Structure 1
């Protein structure tokens, strides 16, 4: 064995010693997980609400989507992208789902008549604290389900259809609406799509940027729109940032538009805007 081979062997194959890089990553992950645990324990989780407006009349809000946020010890807001990738595959991911659902239901109780979308994953269906919370609130507050929208990522939904399909069928009886999030992002079985019976399809945001002039994305968006319409799903486009994108999506038949063009996620939005836009115009004279 050459000197160089001996060095590589010691460096690459000695599993008893972790590299400084691996140690740093492990340490960073532990810090993130502890931060999440502390936030859950001390109830420092919040929802930031972003409006989705009707394409035909952007002054009317169709619903708000609640994005989970974490507050650190100094009450600084930390977005989900900074902790979900570490937490979502662990038990903490399920606890975050419970916190998001609790906050969404609390918002609906405090603001009757508003519609709130909360993200969930297929794993939530088999997690007793999540399902027990949902069923308890549905029993205690009849009619609250009509304001709740549950968003499920397409990839997550396809992992356990045998559990999710009957769950959705039951909960739709309480008025709950189900959204297939990131629609078009991955291959979907048409047979399963029909069986699920999703009410809303949300077009994946990565296809929306410059959709009005991107010849590669336009056929994808049109195909996704046609498929959603064929299955009777109301269409929402996310990540809309320009008027040109909004106008093109409106022409294609998208029902709701969501993105920074119409409002950023806010911890304390004015929910009265939702209700005021729906009030019939007062007769003049």
Structure 2
């Protein structure tokens, strides 16, 4: 037999190629298993070629490491056939490990087929030498090489299947597995080489007609490394793109979740909002109709919340609402729905067996809500008025149920608050009346039904008129002249107060311009700003436009803001009032003494006037508590260089006492009732001092 030898450097290189080929195979298996659509076929084809090229390259590097004392060459056809076998085997292996499951029977069959295919690739490559006479194989080593190929294939398939999914340690795991698989592949190759024996006098038939070993070495090394490098680079880039896509998908899912939260849940209390309540209510109606069961809609409104909100500020009012919502949520059962409609209104949907169940729940809620609250070390008290509408019976649609529950809630308030009422058909009259009034109010502006009355303001003590306060009235076509307390709460609740307020400012400025033309240039007209109007972003522009439209001096306009509104968000209020004051408009703090003021902020407000609430004037007499409060307010106003005006002056003793205390201006029925502008212009007579 011819003596053979191995180039140790190329043997080591063949092991490196086998390990690289194994790592490429494992990485491609991961790519194929996570791909979808057409990309599966592309990754499978590319992976099969890269993996097959690697295994085939390892075989021929090992062949190049092998030398005999004769010239060697390789038949082109058989060499190409061995490459095709390697690629086909790799494609089968990748397809197998990318299935959803890999039971032991399928693993064994796959290992057998793949092992035989790899052995075929090896011995086809050996046949490419075209040895004359043929190569003699030792039966024991031959069988052993095939068994090693089968066992190595089984191990490779199992490892690839286990490592096909991405994990935190996937690179390290694949590297370790690639070493094991590479050693197994190399072991099979050199076991097969050990089985080959070359008789004395043999010669290589492909030495002169086949591929020269030097050219084959260059071809194998360059092409193999290039293919595996390109495959791995593409895989790495795809992995990064996949991670980025996954990150973007996660961000998008989170953004969608946040949008859904904003769309369906109240931002303050995190309870379902009106939109989600509508969906839950529709489901409850369908379920009750299908199962012939009952449920109740409880409309809950807080009693005394406005007083707490005005006294302690908007921020603490929000904290109180959050605490109330938490108490309601803890009181209800898991299957019940608790929603916030806005402000201090909540709606609850509860499954009941009979109406007494709803009554028990309402009693429990009322008891829970009335317990004291501690908000930033301030003890607060509110109660709840609840209206109950039962389905079926009190309405067949969402709208009817909520309207009827709302009507019952208002009936509970009329009965003294801190209680509950079931809906009765007689309550519908008031609910429908309010609904009709709201519909009429929506058209009041366009139909020119709103009018302004003016109540004069006079100086103390001489009684000289200094201007008037504009007071809104509604000349309803059927109900007659309506006072503001009959429709302004509806306007505030529905947002109509903003366009109505804009109309009031414009109309008051127009009237003041007419008075200036008549010579009353020193007068000023006062306009009350509601909380919603004051918070509206277009307020400053509305005032500026009205002044410019009517060529009115800013000093002829006074804007009255209640103390509670100004103190609700003091920093924001300061910014708004500063912008108005910069225009030259006068600022009056209305209803002073009824809210919760910080003198630190009060002295920073660009106000020119304090207006004492009529509640202190009503029972004003020397030595009373109200007299002491009024005297203190007047003294405070003088200290801050503010004019002080008292409203609600109805008697001569009140006027005299306020004059003695040093009040600058007076307003009330004694000095002039609210009247149309023309009546004030034509018939107002300046009262003489008492």
- State the secondary structure of the residue aligned to 2:680: coil
Contact 2:567 2:596 (C-alpha < 8 Å) held by counterparts: no
Matched residues in 2 for 1:117 and 1:24: separation? 37
> What is the Cα deviation at residue 24 of structure 1?
4.3
For the pair shown, the structure with the greater C-alpha radius of gyration is 2
Aligned position for 2:468: 64
Aligned position for 2:625: 216
Aligned position for 2:646: 237
> What is the Cα deviation at residue 154 of structure 1?
1.0
> What is the Cα deviation at residue 10 of structure 1?
5.0
> What is the Cα deviation at residue 270 of structure 1?
3.1
User: Which runs of no fewer than 5 residues in structure 2 stay unpaired?
Assistant: 1-352, 362-387, 395-404, 406-422
Aligned position for 1:227: 636
1:187 aligns with 2:596: yes
More deviation, 27-36/235-244: 27-36
More relative contact order, 1 or 2 (CA 8 Å, 6+ apart): 1
1:9 aligns with 2:357: yes
- State the secondary structure of the residue aligned to 2:503: helix
492, 495, 505: which one aligns with 1:101: 505
Give aligned pairs, total.
271
1:27 aligns with 2:432: yes
- State the secondary structure of the residue aligned to 2:482: strand
> What is the Cα deviation at residue 29 of structure 1?
2.4
Aligned position for 1:162: 571
Contact 1:122 1:159 (C-alpha < 8 Å) held by counterparts: no
Structure number with the higher helix fraction is: 2
> What is the Cα deviation at residue 91 of structure 1?
0.7
Aligned position for 1:206: 615
Aligned position for 2:96: none
Q: Give the TM-score normalised by structure 1.
A: 0.85
663, 667, 673: which one aligns with 1:264: 673
Q: Give the TM-score normalised by structure 2.
A: 0.37
1:41 aligns with 2:451: no
C-alpha distance after superposition, 1:48-72 (max 9, x if no partner) = 00011111211x1122001011111
Contact 2:540 2:579 (C-alpha < 8 Å) held by counterparts: no
Aligned position for 1:283: none
Contact 2:467 2:524 (C-alpha < 8 Å) held by counterparts: yes
More deviation, 97-106/18-27: 18-27
Aligned position for 1:85: 489
Report the CA distance shift for 1:165/1:86 in structure 2 as closer, same or farther (over 3 A): same
Matched residues in 1 for 2:539 and 2:438: separation? 20
The two structures, once aligned, show a CA RMSD in angstroms of 2.6
Contact 2:497 2:532 (C-alpha < 8 Å) held by counterparts: no
User: Which runs of no fewer than 5 residues in structure 1 stay unpaired?
Assistant: 278-285
Matched residues in 1 for 2:573 and 2:592: separation? 17
More deviation, 145-154/130-139: 130-139
Matched residues in 2 for 1:174 and 1:75: separation? 40
